[in-house]
Structure 1
């Protein structure tokens, strides 16, 4: 087969070994200024060397449609969020040239192909504003057209519409205050307008040092991003495209960086996953276009693909299962002249590190490998139809060695010369001593491959024997059994090689220095996903909720929260965050309103029993950091248990314990906003100022006390509160005590109450103090009115108790009713009186005495509860005796039988009370 270097032609900079980072680093600010490398500055050259991925084409179509005025408001704000080197800046440069070079764009062949996907550009020339972290210094500003521009909004206005547009927001720019509601006027003047913002998070970190009143320029800028998003969404022929890093570690190694990224992410809509600038499958074509002037004869490529397919088919089980599938054949074709494993190790393993610049980094490292092999092609022997991982010579590749140390530490300075590459390495020594290995540099090729694959986590760490064979074996090369033999020898002599095998699976190999706990933790942090963080928060919230005494606590409930009759604290999911300003329009606010007013699809009845505990953006940043630290330590402790030495195990345990303790504190600090929905006033909030060490104590103490202090929660209901809410009776208006109680449960314009005693005890006190009276029974024929006295066994939730005006009470000395008004009860009341012995007739009885009372008659079932209040309680000290006779008849709707509940309950109750029980068949 033809060697790869006889078929392909690299670009001249690759041949010459010009491989500094600037060759592959796109800089939007340089393009705007007309500086930088021609490959980015010159539109024709740029389009010629750019492979338009599906993601990039999607973004371009979305922007072109937006500038043409075709898209809806939601599609005009685009956020590109990928890791370092993920193609964000390259995408912005593409959009810049599309909007700026509309007159010549149709003359560029590659651009014409792109326009077939996006559709034609219908405007002559668009106004473009570009803002990067280098555009405007937060302190000194940026001088242009006789003005000193100081802010993001000033730059955008000046670039889009010159002085006329700038004057609209000039005062806001000079005073560093976010314009409110007026930026739409700027956009309207400048349509069609494309706004490109790159590295904004990094700019905001610097802007945080500039004070603006009680806030900072960073705060004002973040606020403007939301203002700008809404203005663009509401203005046709305008598009905003902004980039964000994928994680906080790409902004700054500080809590502020994470906070800034979190705030910006919450304010910008993101492009969905299928519009990433560069997908995994497209990386191959991106590499080809950027590194090679010509990829060579397609027939030669077909020969190479066919030979590798035959080889892998013959090896069968010696290789990973996917190697013999048709899909892998196509990957060999796409990745030519590289073996897919070489591309994959950089694009997947190395790119998982947060400091690796993904596409840019892959291009630079592969470019360095091609350059090294191109320059020493005359010394290459054997089958070199593809470039394998085993062709990587770390000794010759300073960019690769430097990147390795940058990502994974200087300790590999010792690993490479000791075990991998160079005349004194163990791999070199093995090849020299074993002839069959030496002719193909088997051991050195294996060592280089293992080092390249040494990075990952858990079951993905290192490389298996099957994967090693796939990476190093060639059609006309050594026998696959040589891999097993060479590995055995390397295991016996290597100083930094590690391996493990789990169950029946083959060994996995990797190199590392003595594990550095901090490095391991940082690596593990990048594997922690937001879903894991949220789950850990919810687990801890649920655990602490069980210990709360003063509230019924529900953690991240569904929309169908049952009706509650006691104070219920709903702790919102951590994804709902607030930033200390009005929250009704936020996602958190909408969730609060939904739960507070609806029970599933029905209107909620008891709306004044729910209060919400909400996470803050600032607090979540700290909480997230602590949880990621804890989870990372836990993963390391579990995954590296057999590899860590005793002192290292102690270190990781101490770090995990410290992170665990920090989580308890940061959980309390994060959930620092108490919110309550009110239909008439919107969502009201309280900011907690004091904090306990654990969330359950925080809720039982500071949340409770703050609500009481702010009169959100009442332990007793004051008379003025009753009057304000028309809950005090008048001579014409009686009020059920149950209605008074439920008014504080149902209507969210009132304070909440701690429990029913808050109403019951207060009403009882007002009765005893003579403010009002409590009546029992049904109006107007109350069976008893209590005034300036205790009400025995009073229950505020009993519908037979009423608040009545005190004037309805008739004292005993004013009449015979003794506080009982209305008609004489039905039935008979027989009084046996003591007769005097004098025989004299008494014409006036001022105080007649009786020996005995007997009351009998039929009582309607609905009045049965009045018997206790009206008869038994008043006579409780008079040796009262009760004889009852209860009869009941079976009906078609409600039969009585031995197996029915009505029969079982009444018979058992009669037995327990010693009553006679009979049933007639």
Structure 2
């Protein structure tokens, strides 16, 4: 497919930029006097560039019939909006009637004459009365001849001095000649054509009660009425007069009065005609601005590609694009897209002062000139192609708009400093097709005319029409749709009527900044360390609220406030403690700080922390999103409190934007907090711990589920443990040749402390591993204490155990050897002592002896009966321990733990020992105890089973 510049070549004056505003304005007086440009002066050139519309065709047929005396309307009023082609139509009649060139040289005229059923058009006299050419008090000068009135000028142009003589007296007195006199004049010089242009502009200059040389207001109206009646009576005379369509074009109140009077005058005999239909404007503009298309096949290929692309997009585009006739519209308007004409003729022509045809020609000439100079490669000139970056083209549009549009275009729409240009430079997908600028240009063309406060109706254009103004074959509508969504969130002067994602939403530009500008200003108010962090804290707490994998989740909690206990905890670091692959120091230092410290004291249980850090590259966006949410919240609050006055549409927009901003925050926060940091120490001999980082998948499952997955997959936290792994750790770190057992819960305490040990999720994980391992003879044996080489409650291959503070895990080889030794001792045969009745316990520390055997022998054989009185050797041993110690109340917790570990645990290691521990607490209150302390201590003492809890 070829771009438009290779198929449709503009006229030289358009290419060279030599066109002038006056060249687009047909001046019938200049043509009559021979002073017009070639395009208007030469009849052949004029018809070469003139598209004969249906209305013009019917009018020229009537002119031809009238001049031949074969019917036709005698009086025709041309009444259209400003720039609607009235003067251009009169020029067509002028060139047809004067016959300065052969009819065969006038493009389209021979066919027209055939349709009229005529052989020829007689050469006629043409009188041109231009209301802008002279003022009522300014006579016409023809050599030495002075003519004062319209009727005098009419007579002179038809018959020279001879014709003027017929109305000489009426011209001198400024009174209207009668119908009969005008009939004589017209009949004498028939066939004739009278062309009256800008009649209102002439008559409105007469002041009430102040007659001028040109007559008076009433005499001129009388002349017009008499002239219309006279033309009706002369079969080969015709009158064409142009009147403005609106009162605004009529000018002053005097002009409006003149217009109303002339409408009544012409209304008696006229044939009203409106020259240009909207569809016909395509060809008018094309002929005036472009040379004839030489490669029709290339044009049709492009137009067909556009229609195929529109069919492929379906309902995303306006319904008329799905009709087969849209191809014909594309061909007819080529190389300008029909949407450009639709917007100009339907929207821009509603602006006061924008001329229907002339204004479009002027604008498109400047647009084509700039696009040609910039080597534009678009297949058609679309609304999205308009070079609003060009001052000349931009000024042509903003001239008709209210003040204030220049900063809108420079800031939001087009130019080096526009937001659209910045977006395209950051988004290659948009920049490749200039998507943002094309969307903004289309929006401007379709919505700027409705920006005036007095304009009625619904404002803005919908998404489908915006896409139509941008899309070309080979592109997808989704690119432009995404660009529109981005612009709706970013631009300061772009407004929307509802949810931007919905197809029915309308978009428009306005010179008043939308609330986004207010929001951008308020964003600067919020501080990172207070406002931003406080909002982020609440967002992260909501985000982590459902996490149950950890026993505790701490957001921005100082290490002094993170408990140093056995619970597994997740800590979310501050934004300043970020992490990235290239910048790890802040995150790693923060993790080591938490692992080592618990306030001013060292952390004891360091292996219970997993930390979540923000990504360095995502922090900027997260902070910006938080600022946006805070800014919208402040706007909504100010509206509710009456500190900010806005309309209901903007109020709803602010509430919607606030909700959108709040909805975005959890997602953006999760995308930012995506580094799971885990402290590790691979061996006990590592000089210092290190930190491993694991990236989280920010899409799909919830944050809690994703953290759990990463912890399980990378064995950061052990939720189910095999006894073989437990045996491996015990073999490597605990079982030694001189120490074949280890306390099970001592190992649990070590897993809480040391980073080189596995991080078990809960104590039950270790208990399950112990129970599974105890059922087998391959992993370890168990016992409930050891004294003098004897394991109390020893078992191997039996899972019927209880995991408590006394449970020992024995190296499997040592356990097997110990089991073998026990079996060997039991195998020794020992004489069975006679059975004696049991003896009552004696008063001493021992019991009476059992006849037939010693206590030592029974102990060695593993069968104890009633204790016997101590032997001589036993009496040398101590039998009772009584210890008393004073404990400082400030360190009672630590001291009691030490006493339990170092004293009581050793006393209970003997299974035969009976150990009783009593705690005596005495507290004196010189000033008397408070009711609160008394109540709390009494309740707690009762709950803890105190035998004595007396207050004195």
Counterparts of 1:115 and 1:86 in 2: how far apart (Å)? 25
Instruction: Check whether the contact 2:150–2:214 (CA below 8 A) recurs between aligned residues.
Output: no
How has the CA–CA distance of structure 1 residues 126 and 216 changed in structure 2, closer, same or farther, with 3 Å as cutoff?
closer
Matched residue SS, 1:17: coil
Instruction: Check whether the contact 2:138–2:213 (CA below 8 A) recurs between aligned residues.
Output: no
Matched, 1:282 2:280: yes
CA positional deviation for 1:159: 0.7
Matched, 1:394 2:388: yes
Q: Which residue of 1 aligns with 2:77?
A: 79
| Per-residue deviation, residues 767-794 of structure 1 (Å, max 9, x unmatched) | xxxxxxxxxxxxxxxxxxxxxxxxxxxx
Which of 411, 420, 423 does residue 430 from structure 1 map onto? 423
Moved more, 261-270 or 190-199: 261-270
Q: Which residue of 2 aligns with 1:357?
A: 355
Q: Which residue of 2 aligns with 1:265?
A: 263
Instruction: Check whether the contact 2:497–2:649 (CA below 8 A) recurs between aligned residues.
Output: no
Instruction: Check whether the contact 2:77–2:272 (CA below 8 A) recurs between aligned residues.
Output: no
Q: Which residue of 1 aligns with 2:35?
A: 35
Matched residue SS, 1:408: coil
Instruction: Check whether the contact 1:68–1:121 (CA below 8 A) recurs between aligned residues.
Output: no
CA positional deviation for 1:415: 1.1
Counterparts of 1:345 and 1:106 in 2: how far apart (Å)? 37
How has the CA–CA distance of structure 1 residues 494 and 154 changed in structure 2, closer, same or farther, with 3 Å as cutoff?
same
Matched residue SS, 2:379: coil
Instruction: Check whether the contact 1:79–1:271 (CA below 8 A) recurs between aligned residues.
Output: no
Q: Which residue of 2 aligns with 1:15?
A: 15
CA positional deviation for 1:397: 4.7
| Per-residue deviation, residues 837-867 of structure 1 (Å, max 9, x unmatched) | xxxxxxxxxxxxxxxxxxxxxxxxxxxxxxx
CA positional deviation for 1:215: 12
Q: Which residue of 1 aligns with 2:747?
A: none
Alignment: residue pair count: 513
How has the CA–CA distance of structure 1 residues 157 and 269 changed in structure 2, closer, same or farther, with 3 Å as cutoff?
same
Matched residue SS, 1:212: coil
Counterparts of 1:24 and 1:214 in 2: how far apart (Å)? 33
Matched residue SS, 2:360: helix
How has the CA–CA distance of structure 1 residues 293 and 271 changed in structure 2, closer, same or farther, with 3 Å as cutoff?
farther
Alignment of 1:452-471 (within 5 A): 452-454=445-447, 455-456=449-450, 458-459=456-457, 461-471=459-469
Which of 450, 463, 482 does residue 485 from structure 1 map onto? 482
Unaligned 5+ residue runs, structure 1? 516-639, 646-921
CA positional deviation for 1:461: 2.9
CA positional deviation for 1:282: 1.3
CA RMSD of aligned residues (A): 2.8
Counterparts of 1:270 and 1:281 in 2: how far apart (Å)? 31
The TM-score, its normalising length taken from structure 1, stands at 0.53
Alignment of 1:368-379 (within 5 A): 368-377=366-375
Counterparts of 2:505 and 2:36 in 1: how far apart (Å)? 48
Alignment of 1:518-917 (within 5 A): 642=648
Counterparts of 2:104 and 2:247 in 1: how far apart (Å)? 40
How has the CA–CA distance of structure 1 residues 215 and 134 changed in structure 2, closer, same or farther, with 3 Å as cutoff?
closer
Alignment of 1:157-306 (within 5 A): 157-181=155-179, 182-208=181-207, 211-212=210-211, 217-252=216-251, 254-269=252-267, 275-306=273-304
Q: Which residue of 1 aligns with 2:407?
A: 414
Matched residue SS, 1:131: strand
Which of 330, 333, 348 does residue 331 from structure 2 map onto? 333
Counterparts of 1:144 and 1:213 in 2: how far apart (Å)? 20
Counterparts of 2:297 and 2:395 in 1: how far apart (Å)? 37
CA positional deviation for 1:33: 0.7
Counterparts of 1:204 and 1:111 in 2: how far apart (Å)? 35
Counterparts of 2:261 and 2:499 in 1: how far apart (Å)? 43
Matched residue SS, 1:207: coil
Counterparts of 1:298 and 1:275 in 2: how far apart (Å)? 34
Matched residue SS, 2:176: coil
How has the CA–CA distance of structure 1 residues 218 and 496 changed in structure 2, closer, same or farther, with 3 Å as cutoff?
farther
Which of 130, 133, 143 does residue 131 from structure 2 map onto? 133
How has the CA–CA distance of structure 1 residues 40 and 67 changed in structure 2, closer, same or farther, with 3 Å as cutoff?
same
| Per-residue deviation, residues 597-619 of structure 1 (Å, max 9, x unmatched) | xxxxxxxxxxxxxxxxxxxxxxx
Counterparts of 1:317 and 1:124 in 2: how far apart (Å)? 56
CA positional deviation for 1:55: 0.9
Counterparts of 2:274 and 2:366 in 1: how far apart (Å)? 26
Matched residue SS, 1:358: coil
Counterparts of 2:209 and 2:147 in 1: how far apart (Å)? 15
Moved more, 170-179 or 265-274: 265-274
Which of 303, 312, 315 does residue 314 from structure 1 map onto? 312
Matched residue SS, 2:175: coil
Matched residue SS, 1:70: coil
Instruction: Check whether the contact 1:346–1:362 (CA below 8 A) recurs between aligned residues.
Output: yes
Matched, 1:495 2:476: no
Matched residue SS, 2:489: helix
CA positional deviation for 1:305: 1.9
Instruction: Check whether the contact 1:137–1:150 (CA below 8 A) recurs between aligned residues.
Output: no
Counterparts of 1:236 and 1:4 in 2: how far apart (Å)? 50
Matched, 1:151 2:145: no
CA positional deviation for 1:422: 1.0
Larger Rg: 2
Counterparts of 2:229 and 2:506 in 1: how far apart (Å)? 52
Instruction: Check whether the contact 1:129–1:156 (CA below 8 A) recurs between aligned residues.
Output: yes
CA positional deviation for 1:349: 1.3
| Per-residue deviation, residues 731-779 of structure 1 (Å, max 9, x unmatched) | xxxxxxxxxxxxxxxxxxxxxxxxxxxxxxxxxxxxxxxxxxxxxxxxx
Instruction: Check whether the contact 1:52–1:114 (CA below 8 A) recurs between aligned residues.
Output: no
Instruction: Check whether the contact 2:64–2:121 (CA below 8 A) recurs between aligned residues.
Output: no
How has the CA–CA distance of structure 1 residues 333 and 359 changed in structure 2, closer, same or farther, with 3 Å as cutoff?
same
Counterparts of 2:298 and 2:648 in 1: how far apart (Å)? 49
CA positional deviation for 1:105: 2.8
Counterparts of 2:212 and 2:13 in 1: how far apart (Å)? 52
Unaligned 5+ residue runs, structure 2? 514-645, 652-952
Instruction: Check whether the contact 1:341–1:389 (CA below 8 A) recurs between aligned residues.
Output: yes
Matched residue SS, 1:240: strand
Instruction: Check whether the contact 2:76–2:270 (CA below 8 A) recurs between aligned residues.
Output: no
How has the CA–CA distance of structure 1 residues 119 and 151 changed in structure 2, closer, same or farther, with 3 Å as cutoff?
farther
Q: Which residue of 2 aligns with 1:601?
A: none
Counterparts of 2:292 and 2:208 in 1: how far apart (Å)? 50
Q: Which residue of 2 aligns with 1:142?
A: 140
CA positional deviation for 1:235: 1.6
CA positional deviation for 1:119: 4.4
How has the CA–CA distance of structure 1 residues 60 and 641 changed in structure 2, closer, same or farther, with 3 Å as cutoff?
farther
CA positional deviation for 1:202: 0.8
Q: Which residue of 2 aligns with 1:621?
A: none
| Per-residue deviation, residues 390-445 of structure 1 (Å, max 9, x unmatched) | 111212151x3223232112211221111111111122122122221111111111
Instruction: Check whether the contact 2:78–2:243 (CA below 8 A) recurs between aligned residues.
Output: yes
How has the CA–CA distance of structure 1 residues 422 and 29 changed in structure 2, closer, same or farther, with 3 Å as cutoff?
same
Counterparts of 1:414 and 1:71 in 2: how far apart (Å)? 59
CA positional deviation for 1:246: 0.9
CA positional deviation for 1:310: 1.5
How has the CA–CA distance of structure 1 residues 270 and 315 changed in structure 2, closer, same or farther, with 3 Å as cutoff?
farther
Instruction: Check whether the contact 1:157–1:166 (CA below 8 A) recurs between aligned residues.
Output: yes
CA positional deviation for 1:275: 4.6
The TM-score, its normalising length taken from structure 2, stands at 0.51
Counterparts of 1:97 and 1:43 in 2: how far apart (Å)? 6
How has the CA–CA distance of structure 1 residues 231 and 468 changed in structure 2, closer, same or farther, with 3 Å as cutoff?
same
Counterparts of 2:171 and 2:363 in 1: how far apart (Å)? 43
